[in-house]
Amino acid sequence: MNVTIIGGGYVGLVTGTCLAHLNHIVTIIDIDKTKVDAINNAKSSIYEEGLDVLLKEHIGKNLKASLEYSSIQTSDIVFITVGTPPNPDGSSNLSYIRFAAENIAKEYMIGHTQHPIVVIKSTVPPGTTENIVRKTIHGSIPDVNVGYCMNPEFLREGRAIFDFFEPDRIIIGSSDQVVIDKIKELYEDLDAQILVTGSTAAEMIKYTANAFLATKISFSNEIGNLCKKLNVDVYEVMKGVGLDHRISPFFLNAGAGFGGSCFPKDVSSLASMITQHDLDPVLLKAVLSINSNQPEKMILLLKNRLVSLNGKRIAVLGLAFKDNTDDIRESRSIPVIEMLLSASAVPVCYDPKATKNMMQVFPDLIYCNSAKDALKDADGCLVMTEWQEFAELDAEFSLMKNRIIIDGRHILTIPDAEGVCW
């Protein structure tokens, strides 16, 4: 099929590249010329394992990027994968969604040779497909036979290529059988359970899934905080809990908390929606509160060991919000670094992939080229990201001035590391 992807960010770039690998003809549209040029030169603007290989395989063949929207005119399917950043009140900013819908309408008015289908893959509040995308497009071109679908993405950063080709489910949110059949055909080479729902239910599925996973993490952290007081290993506890098939062992890892582009934003947006309907999101507010407090607990552990952080050199290992990505959005390292700076400490940072991005937030920090360099003469160490190379550190900790090590991710194997929850 001819496919246009509006939005060349994380979701759009991964989705477009993987669809090209399924032999579709894909054009990725973005307003950022630097990003468009990078894609056309087979260079990813993000770090995602396996993405560069697929880009080099398909760019210039059945995959390209463009600043123009003209590919919409000949597309069977148009994906909207633009961002929906949070407003100050936690609700979702849908201005990019509206802008994408307006540009789709403009191109259809110029001319279209297919019966197009518009697919929303961005995470959007329930009702967005019908009340914003459909109304915006049909307000401009009421006589065009446009189909609509909500098709949420479930891509884990750092494992997105695997998740695209090995999905545990594909959600098709539409009541139009022609649309449903077309989307099934688009993904026919993937072996996954397909669930067909209404578009509003599909939108709600994405929010609910992310909120539930975030709740599991915050629940584990609350239990972990108690386990630390009781001198109980929370990982041993959660291993026993996770053996219950009704619960599963996933997302029960206590530690520094969750971050990234999805969980914090989506939980806040869902809580905002609940409030707008005159309900009180008690549980979701607690999820966000627990997550917000976890980084401070790491700083308190450090203070208890060092008494004062003033002038102390603190190695911060890990800047990305999780391993196998360079994404620092809502990374737990950010509030930790802010608290260290407020206490007049000297953060010395290292991350295998995310240093460049963190430099945009903290340009004046000390950044190192290795964990070994960051640990040299350090008065303390905070491990913030579960990179595998950190698990293999051992003798490097002997380079520290004071061997005080706080592990926020339960990744270290050395015996004298203290965990935030264990």
The count of other CB atoms within 10 Å of the CB of residue 410 is 21
Residue 151 domain-assigned? yes
What is the structure's pLDDT at 26?
98
Q: Cβ contacts of residue 386 below 8 Å, gap of 6+?
A: 318, 322, 323, 409, 410, 411
pLDDT of residue 214: 98
Residue 188: burial class (beta carbons within 10 Å; 0-12, 13-18, 19+): exposed
Residues 191, 222: one domain?
Answer: no
Catalytic residue among 227, 262, 349, 421: 262
pLDDT of residue 213: 98
Choose one of 142, 172, 197: the last residue of a domain.
Answer: 197
Q: Is residue 134 part of a domain?
A: yes
Contact 66, 33 (CB under 8 A): no
Instruction: Please report, for the domain that includes residue 160, its CATH number.
Output: 3.40.50.720
Do 191 and 224 share a domain, yes or no? Answer: no
pLDDT at 116: 83
Closest CA to 219 of 211, 229, 209: 211
| Distance from C-alpha of 95 to C-alpha of 324, rounded to nearest angstrom | 30
Evaluate whether residue 370 is within a structural domain. yes
Distance of CA 389 to the CA centre of its chain: 22
Q: Are residues 14 and 163 in the same domain?
A: yes
Whether residues 238 and 386 fall in one domain: yes
Q: Does residue 202 belong to any structural domain of this protein?
A: no
Nearest to 9 by CA among 24, 25, 27, 30: 30
Phi, psi angles (nearest 5°) of residue 367: -110, 135
Residue 289 lies in a domain: yes
- pLDDT of 107 reads 87
Give the DSSP H/E element, type plus range, for residue 108: helix 95-110
Decide which of 151, 171, 197 is a domain's last residue. Answer: 197
Using 50 as the pLDDT threshold, list the residues of the chain that sit under it. Answer: none
Residues comprising the chain, all counted: 422
Q: Are residues 184 and 226 in the same domain?
A: no
Domain that holds residue 148: 2-197
Task: Note whether 152 and 21 are same-domain residues.
Answer: yes
Q: What is the pLDDT of residue 113?
A: 64
- Residue 347 parent element (H or E): strand 346-350
Same structural domain for residues 256 and 342?
yes
| Same-domain status, 182 and 224 | no
For this structure, is 262 an active site residue? yes
The residue among 410, 403, 391 whose CA lies nearest residue 256 is 410
**Residue 234 C-beta-side C-alpha neighbours within 13 Å:** 25
DSSP three-state, residue 49: coil
Q: Give domain status of residue 206, yes or no.
A: no
Residues 231 and 171 in one domain: no
Residue 139: per-residue pLDDT: 82
pLDDT tens profile 310-335 = 999 999 999 999 999 999 999 999 99
Question: Final residue of a domain: which of 197, 225, 252?
Answer: 197
**Number of domain units in the chain:** 2
Asked if residue 303 is part of any domain, the answer here is yes
232 in the same domain as 273: yes
First to last CA, the chain: 52
Same domain, 193 and 221: no
> What is the predicted pLDDT for the residue at 114?
64
Q: Are residues 219 and 301 located together in one domain of the fold?
A: yes
Q: Model pTM? A: 0.95
Alpha-carbon span 124 to 35, nearest angstrom: 24
Q: Look at residue 138 in the predicted model and tell me its pLDDT.
A: 85
- Answer whether residue 204 is part of any domain: no
Please give the radius of gyration of the chain, using alpha carbons only, rounded to the nearest integer: 23
